[in-house]
Amino acid sequence: MWQKLDKRLYSEALFLKRLLVSRSLTMSVAESCTGGEITSTLTKVPGASQFFVGGVVVYWPSYKIHIVGVPRNIVETYGTVSYETAYELAKHIRVISATNIGLSVVCVLGPKPDEKGHSVGTTYIAVAYKDDVVVRRMNVVPKSRVFMKKLVALKALRILGEVIGG
């Protein structure tokens, strides 16, 4: 069941490698709900170290604040799954990793809504590139936690490709 999705993830990672390496770009990731799925996918690609610097899993609010540097008032005001938190995560992971691109993902995996009442499947993906941060919101229909993590990772990699012009 996951094989098709895993193949699509790997294919997207290969595409990003070609795109990023051809442009001499590097990237870093701050993942929450995907729990390392993006990092795992990217590091399956031979030569990933040519473009991928690293990633962190920032599941708890305190990690978003203390490890990546999201301002506490952003997390407290808007919640861990918000446009603002995704924006700050992408921006800060790019800076602390000294990369050209910062990618972040936050979403509600469930089984219940989050602390701010966001429904299961609410997702924000952010890409910090050049002088801009692009944030996309979507609702993912959760079939299972594993499926949702893989699907959100795939969407994040595709959005990254779109933002940098692939």
Domains plus CATH for the chain? Answer: 3-159 (3.90.950.20)
Residues 107-131 pLDDT 10s = 998 888 888 888 899 999 999 999 9
Q: How much is the average pLDDT of 67-83?
A: 96
State residue 25's pLDDT score: 98
Nearest Cα neighbor of 135 from 61, 74, 63, 76 is 74
99 residue type, one letter: T
Residue 66 and residue 40: Cα distance in Å, rounded?
Answer: 23
Q: How much is the average pLDDT of 73-82?
A: 96
State residue 111's pLDDT score: 85
Structure tokens at 135: 């944030």
Contacts of 66 (CB under 8 A, 6+ apart): none
pTM score, two decimals?
A: 0.95
> Does residue 2 register a pLDDT over 90?
no
Residues 20-60 pLDDT 10s = 999 999 999 999 999 999 999 999 999 999 999 999 999 99
